Structure 1
C-alpha cells in the first residue's frame, strides 16, 4: 500500500484530504494508500451526522460517523482501500487486529470490546468503546476509528493520543478532569514513543503495497 507521507494541516485541510482520497480511489485515479498526519492547533471533529455544539476551539465535521473527538495531541491516520469483497465490519475488524498486533509488539496487551449492546450514551467518541474497538484492561479506549464506504471503496481514519492535556481538555469539553483520566490513555502513558509507533505503523501498512488490504495476523 502506498504511503503518502506525514504532514501537519488545518482541521479543514485534513478532512478535505481524507474525503478526496476516497473519491479519487473510487474513480480509479489513485491506488490504495494511507497517510499519517497531525492537526494545526487544538480542535474538535464531529461525526458526519452529529448534532453541533459550541466549543471554545475550532470545530470541523468529518466525512465519517461516530462521536466528537478532540484533536491536537494525537497522531492521526487515513487509509483508503477497495472493498475486495469485504463488508464494513470485516474491514473494521482487520484494522483493529492490525493495531492490536502493533501494540502487542510494544508489550501492551489490549482487549477487544465485546459488548454489542452499545447505544449512543455520550457525545464523545472516547467515553464508551464500541464493539470491536481496542481498550486497556482498565477499559480506556486506545484507538479511535471512524469509517465511510462508497460503492467500491472504504475510507477509514482515526487517531491515537500521543499525549493529552487533561486540564485544558476538561475546559474545552466541559467534562471533569478525573472523568477524562478514566476514559483516555496515551502512547506516553503506555511507555511508547511517538516515533517508534509511527515507524511500526508505517511498516505494517507499507508492507501491503500492491496487495489487497489484509493486515498481519
Structure 2
C-alpha cells in the first residue's frame, strides 16, 4: 500500500490548517490516498480548538521576534497550542476500527516507535476530561497524549472524522521559547530533555525522518513523496476563503 508523503515546509497557520482540512475532504471522498506530512508554523501561532471560544484578549496582540503571533482555529477539537519551537505531524487515513481512543493509539504507534529509535520512551497520559477547563493543551495529558517518563507532555494530538476517514494532527514540542510560552499561558514551559545526539539546527528534520521511518513499519506501507501541485494549492486557497481560516475575531 502506498501513502503520500508531503515534504516538510513552513507556512502560516491558516494555510497549514486549510491543507489538513483539504486532505481530509479529498481522502473521505475517495479521490486522494492516505497521507502523512510534517510542518512548522511561520510566523509563530496559537491554534484554538474548533469549539474553544474563550481565550485571553491579550492573545490577539502578542508578538515574537518582531512579528504578530497568529491566532488560528483548527478544524479539530482540544485546547490552545502554541506553535513555536515545535514540529507538527498530520495523518489522514481511513479503515481504522474501534473507539476514538483506540484510533488515537493506532495512529500514535509510529510516534512512540520513532521516538524510541531516538532514545526516548513515551507513554500515554492519564488525565480525565478535566482538560476541558484548561486553556492550554500542554497543561494536562489525556490518554490521547504522549508524555515522557517524568510526566512532561511531549505530543498533544486532536482528531476530526469525516465519512469513515480521519485527520489526526498533533504538536511535538522540541525547543519552545520559555518566555513566549509563559507570556501566553502564564506558566513556565517544562524543559524537554532531548539526547545530545538529536539536538541542534537540524532537529526538526531528524525527528521527522525518524518518524517517517517508523510510520512505514507501523502502517505497513511505502511512501510516495509528492509536494502539493499548483492545482492543489489553488483548491487549498479556495478552502481558506470558504472557512476563513486564521482570521482574528
Could you tell me the TM-score, scaled by structure 2's length? 0.75
| 1:175 counterpart residue number | 186
Q: In 2, distance between residues paired with 1:202 and 1:119?
A: 30
- 1:115, CA displacement in angstroms? 4.2
Match of 1:198 among 181, 184, 208: 208
Gaps of 5+ in 1: 212-217
Computed over aligned residues only, the root mean square deviation of the Cα atoms, in angstroms, reads 2.0
Q: Aligned-pair distance for 1:66?
A: 0.4
1:155 equivalenced with 2:167 (yes/no): yes
Q: Are 2:88 and 2:172, in contact at CA under 8 Å, matched by a contact in 1?
A: yes
- Is 2:84–2:177's contact at 8 Å kept on the other side of the alignment? no
In the TM superposition, 1:26-175 aligns within 5 A as 26-53=28-55, 54=57, 55=59, 56=62, 57-116=69-128, 118-171=130-183, 173-175=184-186
Shift, 1:67, TM fit? 0.5
SS at match of 1:30: coil
Which structure has greater helix proportion? 2
SS in structure 1 of the partner of residue 176 of structure 2: coil
What secondary structure, in the 3-state scheme, does the structure 1 residue paired with 2:133 have?
Answer: coil
Q: Distance in 2 between matches of 1:41 and 1:115?
A: 31
TM-score, structure 1 normalization: 0.85
Given that 1:34 and 1:80 are in contact with CA atoms closer than 8 Å, whether structure 2 keeps it comes out as yes
Q: How far is 1:75 from its partner?
A: 0.8
Aligned equivalents of 1:62 and 1:12: distance in 2? 9
User: How much has 1:120 moved relative to structure 2?
Assistant: 2.1
Give the 3-state SS of the residue equivalent to 2:134 in structure 1.
coil
Q: Which whole-Å CA distance do the structure 1 matches of 2:221 and 2:41 have between them?
A: 26
1:15 paired residue among 14, 17, 20: 17
Aligned to 2:153, what secondary structure does the other structure show?
coil
